[in-house]
Structure 1
Amino acid sequence: MQLITLATKSMFNRKASVLLTLFTIAISVMLLLTIERVRQEAKSSFSNTVSGTDLIVGARSGDIQLLLSSVFRIGHANNSVSWDSYQDIKSQRGVSWAIPISLGDSHKGHAVLGTDSAYFEHFRYGKKQNLAFAAGRAFVNAQEVVLGSEVASKMHYQLGQQIVISHGMGNTSFHHHDDNPMTIVGILAPTGTPVDKTVHVPLAAIEAMHSQPKSASRMIGKPKQSAAHSHSDTDEHDQNHTDEHGHNDSHDHEHANEHKHNDGHDHDHADEHGHNHSHDHDHSDEHDHGHDKPDTVAVTVPAPAHLHGDLIGEPKQITAFLMGLDSPLYTLQTRRNINNYKAEPLLAIMPGVTLRELWRMLGLVEKILLLFSGVVVLISLLGMLTTLLATLNQRRRELAILRSVGARPRHIFTLMSSEAILITAAGCALGIALFYALIALAQGTLQSQFGISLSISLLSHYELMLIGVIMAAGTLMGILPATRAYFYSLSDGMSIKL
C-alpha cells in the first residue's frame, strides 16, 4: 500500500506527461468500445428489422438485393411479381398469411410502401413484436395513409393532414400525384427499423395514382357500398339529415331522382315525407360548406363502417411479398417450389439465412474496424511506454535516494510497474466514461439517420474482455522500464554523468 501511495505521489509530480498519456489511453479505449458497440447494435438492428417472416418472395435477382430492397428500402427491385402469381402462391398449401409490398414512390425522400391490412396484422419486428399505433388507426380505404414515427416527427405531421405522394424513390421528384391527396389517419409507434421512415398506403391507391391520367383529378379508392345499403338507408339518411358518417351527397341525389317521376308525384312525396327538393338542396349545401374546413387539425380520425373501401384494387404487379407458413416444415419445400415456379422467374429467400450471408460479406469490414481500433490502443500504450522510458533517465536520482533509505530492487520494480498499471487503469476508467457520454450524445442521431439503436447498458462480457486485454497490455508495457530500474545500482544513481 505504501508503494501505491508513493507511485501516486510520483505521478502527481509528473502530472503533465502522465495526463497526456492518460488521455491518449482514454480516447483509444473510448474508440474501441464505441466501434464494438456500434458493430454489435448494427448487426442486432438489421436482424431485428423483420422477424416471424418465413419467406420473402420477389422477382429473380440476388438474395441480398431482394432483402435490401424489400425490407430495408435500399436499392431498387429490377423486376416485379405479377398479381396472379402472388394470388396463386398465397393459396398454396401450408401458407398461413402473405403481405404484398409495392415500392417505387416516395414522399419528400421517404419511401412509400403500398400494402393491405395484412401488413398491420402479421408484420413483426424485433422479438416478434407487433406494430403499434402511437396515434390514430390503420387505413380502411384508398384515400388514407399511415406514417412511420420518424416521418411524422421529422415532417411535423398530425392526424387529419393531407399529403401528396411523388413518383420515384429520390429526394427530388418531378412528378407529384397532387390530384390525389391522401389523409393521414395513423402514426405508428417507433420501432427502430425502416418502418419508422416509411409512408404506408393501400395498394389500391398506388394502382389508382399510376393508372389514371393526370388531368382526371378523381378521388381514388371509392368506398365499397352494397346496393341494399344504398337503397334501404337512403330515406333514413335524408330524413335525419345527418352527416355523421361523412359526405353522402349521392344519397340525396338518389332520393331526388327516385321520387322525381312527374310534377304531381313530386308534390305528393314532398307532403308524405315532410321534406321537398329544396330541402335536399339545402342539405347538400351544408355538405359543400363542410369541404372548406381545414384538413390540418384532427385529434382522431374515425373509421365509419360505410367508408370502408377496397384496399387492393386490381393491381397487375407488386414488388415483392412476405410469407408466413403454418409450420417450419413447409419452408424449404415452399421455397423450392417458388424458385422453380413456371409462370414467371421468382426468388424466395429466408430472411435469417440471407442476413447471415450479408454479415459474412461484411465480415472483412468488421475486422478492419476492429484492427483499426486495436492499433489505436496499441499506439497509446506505446506512448505510455515511451513516456515511462523517457522519464526513467530523469528519475535516477529519485530511485537512488529510495535505495539509500532501504528500498530493495524488487521494491523499485514494483513501484515502476504500479505506475504503469495505475495509468492504464485510470485511462480505461476515463475511456469508459467518455464512451457512455458519446453514446448519450449520438444515440438520437444514429437512431434517426441510420436506424441503429444504441442502448446505454452495462458493458458486455466481450467488452469487459477487451478492457482486460488493455489492462494486461498496459502491465506488460510497464515491465520494461521496471526491469531497467531494477538493475540500476546505487552508485549509478548517485554519480553525475556529463
Structure 2
Amino acid sequence: MSTLFSIAWRSAWNRRFTLALTLLSIALSTCLLLGVERIRTELRQNFASSVSGTDLIVGSRTGSTQLLLYSVFRIGAATSNVSWKSVQALAEHKGVAWVVPLSLGDSHRGFPVLATTPDYFTRFRYGDRQPLVLSQGKPFSEIFEAVIGAEVASQLGYRLGEKITLAHGGGELEATAHADKPFTVVGVLARTGTPVDRTVHIGLGAMEAIHLDWAGGAPMPGVQIPADAVRKFDLTPKTVTAVLVGLKNRAAVFAVQRWVSGYPDEPLMAILPGVALDELWRVVGVGENALMLMSALVALVSLGGLVSVVLAGLNERRRELAVLRAVGAGLRHVLALLALEGGIVTLLGVLLGVLMTALGIALLSPWLQSQFGLALHLSEPTLNEWWLLGGLLLAGWLAGLLPGIRAYRLSLADGLSPRI
C-alpha cells in the first residue's frame, strides 16, 4: 500500500500544474459549502435569538406567530390592544419580575416607531442574552426625544440632534401627520442584527402626546394642541400593543401563562418567544435548503472537474499505466492507484478549503457584524460540517474509480506501442 501511495503521490506531483486547478476548484467548493452551512447555522441562531431573556410576550388573543411577528419583528398589526389596566395587573402578579410595554402603529419614512419605557434599553436582550448598547448618545428621557436603530441611522444618514417627524400608520409615503410635534434624535443603538436596527424608539408618553388632537385615526377638525402644551395633559397610555414579561422564577412560566389566558377583564394570551420562533422558522427557513442545494451543486461540478482532469490525462499516461500492467499490476492496483490520486487531490483541496473558510470568518466577521448584524464565530466544525467534509472526501475518492476502470480497459499493446 505504501508503494502505491508513493507512486500516486509522484504521479500527481508530476502533473501538479494541471491538478492544482482542480485542487483550487475543490477548495473553493469546500469553502462555499462550509461557508453556507456556517451562515445558515448562525442565521438560524440569530433568528432564534431575536429576543432573549424575555420569558413571555403578552398580547391580545390571536395566533402565536402573529403576536410574535408584530411585537418582535414589527410585521403586521394587532387585531386589538391590551388595556393599561391589564398591564398594571400583570406587573403586580407575584411571579412577574418586570414588564416592558410596547406600543406600535406609527412610522418614520417606512421604518416602524416603537413606543416603550426606558426600561426597554436595560431589560431587552438579543442573541446570547446580549443587552442593547448605545453607540452614540443616551436613552430618551424627555417627551419629544427618540432613539434610533443602526439601520435607520445608516440609511437616512441621521446623527445626534437630528429633527425627525413621525407619520401616522406604517406607509412608505411620509405624510406630515405629526409635523407639529417633531422629535430630536438623542441616541443611536449599536447594530444587533435584529428588528431593533430598523426601529425608531420613543416614550409611551410621547406616543400619547402626538395623538392628543387625534380621534379614530384622524386629526380632529379645528383642534390642534401645540408641542409645548402637551405636558398639561395626562399622558398615561390607555392601551398598548404588547408586553414583554420577565419572571422571578422561570419555573413559573406556565402558571403565569395560564393566568394570562384566564384573565377575566379581556381576552389575552401569553407566548413563549423561543417556541414561537421555532414555529416561525419552520415557515420562513425554507430558503436554507436552497442554499445547501446550490453549494452541493458547486461541489458536484468541482468533483466532476476532478474526474474530467484524470480522464483527460489518461491519454498522456498510456505508457505509464501499460508499464505498470506489464510488470504485473492488476485491476485492483490500477483502481487503487487512480483512486489514491483522486483522494490525495481531494484531501488537499478540502484542507485548503477549511483553511480558507477559517480565514474568511476571522477576517470578515467584524465587518459582517457591523454592516449586517450577522455574528460569525470561529469554532470547531459542527456535526453537519463534519458530514459535509466526509462526503467530499468520499466523493473525491470514488471519483478516481471511473478513470481507473477506463484505464484498465485500454489494451496493453495500445499503451506500449508508439503512436505516429
Do both proteins adopt the same fold according to a TM-score greater than 0.5, normalized to the shorter chain? yes
Q: Check conservation: 1:139, 1:202, Cα contact below 8 A.
A: yes
Deviation at 1:491, TM superposition (A): 2.8
Q: Check conservation: 1:115, 1:201, Cα contact below 8 A.
A: yes
Alignment partners' CA distance in 1, 2:320 and 2:203? 81
Q: Which amino acid is 1:408 matched to?
A: A
Give the one of 334, 341, 347 matched to 2:269.
Answer: 347
Deviation at 1:219, TM superposition (A): 1.6
Partner of 1:78: 79
Partner of 2:224: 216
Give the one of 476, 481, 490 matched to 2:398.
Answer: 476
Deviation at 1:105, TM superposition (A): 1.6
Alignment partners' CA distance in 1, 2:185 and 2:371? 21
Partner of 1:267: none
Cα distance change of structure 1 residues 362 and 342 upon mapping to structure 2, 3 Å threshold:
same
Q: Check if 1:452 corresponds to 2:374.
A: yes
Q: How does 1:168-317 map to 2 (within 5 A)?
A: 168-212=169-213, 216=224, 218-219=226-227, 313-317=235-239
Alignment partners' CA distance in 1, 2:279 and 2:307? 42
Q: How does 1:42-441 map to 2 (within 5 A)?
A: 42-212=43-213, 216=224, 218-219=226-227, 313-362=235-284, 364-393=286-315, 395-403=317-325, 408-409=329-330, 412-432=334-354, 435=357
Identity of matched residues, %: 43
Alignment partners' CA distance in 2, 1:220 and 1:100? 26
Partner of 1:239: none
Summarize deviations over 1:210-244 as a string: whole Å, max 9, x none: 232566251268569xxxxxxxxxxxxxxxxxxxx
Deviation at 1:24, TM superposition (A): 4.5
Secondary structure of the residue aligned to 2:39 is helix
Alignment partners' CA distance in 1, 2:304 and 2:51? 45
Q: Which amino acid is 1:200 matched to?
A: H
Q: Which amino acid is 2:227 matched to?
A: M
Partner of 1:8: 12
Secondary structure of the residue aligned to 1:75 is coil
Alignment partners' CA distance in 2, 1:448 and 1:320? 30
Deviation at 1:313, TM superposition (A): 1.9
Secondary structure of the residue aligned to 1:210 is coil
Alignment partners' CA distance in 1, 2:168 and 2:20? 58
Q: Check conservation: 1:101, 1:115, Cα contact below 8 A.
A: yes
Summarize deviations over 1:92-151 as a string: whole Å, max 9, x none: 221111101011222223221100122123222222232232232222221211122333
Cα distance change of structure 1 residues 368 and 162 upon mapping to structure 2, 3 Å threshold:
closer
Q: Which amino acid is 2:403 matched to?
A: P
Summarize deviations over 1:186-230 as a string: whole Å, max 9, x none: 222333322222211001111111232566251268569xxxxxx
Alignment partners' CA distance in 2, 1:416 and 1:122? 62
Deviation at 1:70, TM superposition (A): 0.8
Deviation at 1:324, TM superposition (A): 0.9
Summarize deviations over 1:356-383 as a string: whole Å, max 9, x none: 2223345654445434433442343234
Alignment partners' CA distance in 1, 2:229 and 2:389? 60
Q: Check conservation: 1:142, 1:221, Cα contact below 8 A.
A: no
Alignment partners' CA distance in 2, 1:132 and 1:477? 52
Deviation at 1:436, TM superposition (A): 5.8
Q: Check conservation: 1:22, 1:423, Cα contact below 8 A.
A: yes
* TM-score between the two structures when normalised by the length of structure 1: 0.72
Deviation at 1:444, TM superposition (A): 4.7
Alignment partners' CA distance in 1, 2:229 and 2:259? 35
Alignment partners' CA distance in 1, 2:13 and 2:309? 17
Q: Check conservation: 1:446, 1:452, Cα contact below 8 A.
A: yes
Summarize deviations over 1:379-413 as a string: whole Å, max 9, x none: 43234324433543553233224556x58346644
Alignment partners' CA distance in 2, 1:416 and 1:397? 15
Alignment partners' CA distance in 2, 1:140 and 1:39? 39
Q: Which amino acid is 1:218 matched to?
A: P
Cα distance change of structure 1 residues 317 and 441 upon mapping to structure 2, 3 Å threshold:
same
Secondary structure of the residue aligned to 1:172 is coil
Q: Check conservation: 1:204, 1:221, Cα contact below 8 A.
A: no
Secondary structure of the residue aligned to 1:98 is strand
* TM-score between the two structures when normalised by the length of structure 2: 0.84
Q: How does 1:5-44 map to 2 (within 5 A)?
A: 5-12=9-16, 15=18, 18=19, 21-22=22-23, 24-44=25-45
Q: Check conservation: 1:133, 1:189, Cα contact below 8 A.
A: yes
Larger of the two Rg values belongs to structure: 1
Summarize deviations over 1:264-314 as a string: whole Å, max 9, x none: xxxxxxxxxxxxxxxxxxxxxxxxxxxxxxxxxxxxxxxxxxxxxx9x922
Cα distance change of structure 1 residues 358 and 447 upon mapping to structure 2, 3 Å threshold:
farther
Alignment partners' CA distance in 1, 2:266 and 2:251? 25
